[in-house]
Amino acid sequence: MAEILSALRSLMASHSPPLHALIVPSEDYHQSEYVSDRDKRREFVSGFTGSAGLALITKDEARLWTDGRYFLQAMQQLSDQWQLMRIGEDPSVDSWISDNLPREAAIGVDPWCVSVDTAQRWERAFAKNHQKLIQTSSNLVDEVWKNQPPAETNPVIVHPLEFAGRSVAEKLKDLREKLAIEKACGIIITALDEVAWLYNIRGSDVSYCPVVHAFAIVTLNSAFLYVDKRKVSSKVSSSIQENGIEVREYSTVSSDVALLASNQLDKDTGLSSGQNGVCESGTCEAEEKNNDLIWVDPASCCYALFSKLDAKKMLQQQSPLALAKALKNPVELDGLRNAHIRDGAAVVQYLVWLDKQMQEIYGASGYFLEGKGRSKKRSETMKLTEVTASDKLEGFRATKEHFRGLSFPTISSVGPNAAVIHYSPQPETCAELDPDSIYLFDSGAQYLDGTTDITRTVHFGKPSEHEKACYTSVLKGHIALGNARFPNGTNGHALDILARIPLWRYGLDYRHGTGHGIGSYLNVHEGPHLISFRPQARNVPLQASMTVTDEPGYYEDGTFGIRLENVLVIKEADTEFNFGDKGYLSFEHITWAPYQIKLIDLSLLTPEEIEWLNTYHSKCREILAPSMDKNELDWLKKATEPVSA
């Protein structure tokens, strides 16, 4: 680590101008949440492997900023040359730089790895001390990373219409109509899931996310895909070109953005006006004169491309594809429902297996009975760990139709580890399962017809009364949100409280949001909507045909954690009245797996909540039964027996 810092400082000193500091973000050229191995530059320089963080290297200091999910992990992984900066407790990176580096200091960053929003926020903070954000012409980390993994060259795959539900032509027509309304002549699309969704392509360039490293530019008359051409077979290339999309090398996006800015890009293609557009003959020329803005999403567009545009001719607002992608079409909704049935079957099969293993290996009383685990003699080969258990869950999923991998690293956590919200077990350090502790698993899969995300919390011994009360409070919030009816125009910020009220009654809470959108064989975290206490949850109203998770929790540091998560589809509600002619919305659960009755204090549930639980469990039995063998079905019947207070 010392050699890496020394080599970087040498490059900083020889840079023109010399750099007082270098910022190394976690993101790739597309501001992705998950990045490929080649793009893990912040991890390479710092040794910290968490998914979120930012490194700052100065002449004589190295600091790493990360959030509360990773404080403990960062303390364990950072060498003594690094200082941990706790987001929410310590000054932000831009504040720290402004206050601690000299006036007129030069702070370097690779402009491809930082969004417009972030770079402009930093520039405003630096301006008060006349400090400057310097865009480096190359990534300095890449220059010192001797064994940097090669760029991914996995094949681009066409996502069939039977799963996508809408053709590329339809999506391009809708997009161009939005461009025309906003007086824009073109749009630069940088978010990987938006490129994949628009062009109905998928790939495997990033673990857990079926996306391709690619940019797109769409104008009123033409469309481009910027991708490493080695990934595109002649068959796939033909399919893409049939939709009026020109395939260009990934690296040419920079020069093409400059052409777009000077209104030369369409001329450069040799395409006649309107060939692939929405204009009728004779109308395109008039539209082109009026429509001269270029649309960029400042949250996902990198600063490098933005810097090639004329600020006066730019439309900076959220990509129109974010909402279009979130509003699932009927084919996508059916696919998501079917994927969640197969996924629910895998989860139940896992619980049946795990219940048996916990009893046989650890003498646990099991999923249904309460009692302390009996210590049993066992060999090392028989022990269950957080990792071996989660591998088994992946194995059950892998047998299902259309399975293409996990949708995120499985959170498989026992006892104190379950209190770490984004815990990631590692084979060398993970805990052994414990019959006398809570076990939480948050997991999901990618299927060709949908993406899944489910959390269940279980106990194979005797849960304490406190654990039961906490679990029941989380369940009550989970039910309350899932049962909500609300008028059109309501945002996720307004609904977040429903999941927390049962916890607040005891003075309890949780530090994460309550729900996120989910992709259709795309990213497991999908915006633009969310259900959260965070202000951005006010930005987008919830709408029919969106997907959203319902996942309240409670975490007691050093002891246990509880979370329950289902995926919901937002649908029109059948209400007796329609005040204000707004129309009302409600939720449909599409996740199927039982809640553990042993962890519920039934005396704390209302009759309506008990009725909901019994109805949900009855549907679980009915929906999953065809996927079960006799042993699994017997277990499921027992797990979903009706209860009463």
For residue 371, name the pLDDT band (cuts at 50, 70, 90). confident
Tens-digit pLDDT profile for residues 12-48: 999 999 999 999 999 999 999 899 999 999 999 999 9
What is the structure's pLDDT at 423?
87
Beta carbons within 8 Å of 227's beta carbon, 6+ residues apart? 156, 212, 213, 214, 247, 248, 249, 250
Query: Which letter does DSSP use for residue 152 in this model?
Result: P
What's the whole-number mean pLDDT along residues 98-105? 96
Q: Is the pLDDT of residue 377 over 90?
A: no
What is the structure's pLDDT at 424?
85
The domains found in the chain, sorted by start residue, are: 1-144 (3.40.350.10), 157-266+290-326 (3.40.350.10), 330-369+383-639 (3.90.230.10)
For residue 286, name the pLDDT band (cuts at 50, 70, 90). very low
What is the structure's pLDDT at 272?
37
Q: What is this structure's pTM?
A: 0.94
Q: Is the pLDDT of residue 387 over 60?
A: yes
Map tokens 């029919």 to a residue: 544
What Cα–Cα distance (Å) separates residue 302 from each residue in 119, 228, 427, 538? Answer: 9, 19, 36, 25
Q: Is the pLDDT of residue 408 over 50?
A: yes
What is the structure's pLDDT at 37?
95
State whether residue 246 is helix, strand or coil: strand
For residue 277, name the pLDDT band (cuts at 50, 70, 90). very low
Tens-digit pLDDT profile for residues 354-369: 999 999 999 999 999 9
What Cα–Cα distance (Å) separates residue 100 from each residue in 24, 46, 126, 198, 611? Answer: 18, 21, 11, 45, 60
Task: Give the bridge partners for 350, in sequence order.
Answer: none
605: left (phi over 0), alpha (psi -120 to 50) or beta: beta
What is the structure's pLDDT at 574?
93
For residue 486, name the pLDDT band (cuts at 50, 70, 90). very high
Q: Is the pLDDT of residue 386 over 60?
A: yes
What is the structure's pLDDT at 274?
39
Q: Is the pLDDT of residue 270 over 70?
A: no
Q: Is the pLDDT of residue 514 over 60?
A: yes
Q: Is the pLDDT of residue 552 over 50?
A: yes
> Which is nearest to 197 in space by CA: 530, 521, 517?
521
Tens-digit pLDDT profile for residues 105-153: 999 999 999 999 999 999 999 999 999 999 999 999 999 999 999 998 9
For a pLDDT cut of 70, what percent of the chain falls above it? 95
What is the structure's pLDDT at 280?
44
Q: Is the pLDDT of residue 374 over 80?
A: no
For residue 278, name the pLDDT band (cuts at 50, 70, 90). very low
Q: Is the pLDDT of residue 333 over 50?
A: yes
Mean pLDDT of the chain: 94
DSSP-derived secondary structure for 137-149: SS-HHHHH-TTPP
What is the structure's pLDDT at 380?
61
* Residue with more model confidence, 506 or 272: 506
Burial of 351 (0-12, 13-18, 19+ CB in 10 A): buried
Tens-digit pLDDT profile for residues 244-259: 999 999 999 999 999 9
Structure tokens at 344: 């629910």
What is the structure's pLDDT at 379?
58
What is the structure's pLDDT at 422?
83
What is the structure's pLDDT at 630?
98
> 98 and 126 in contact (C-beta within 8 Å)?
yes
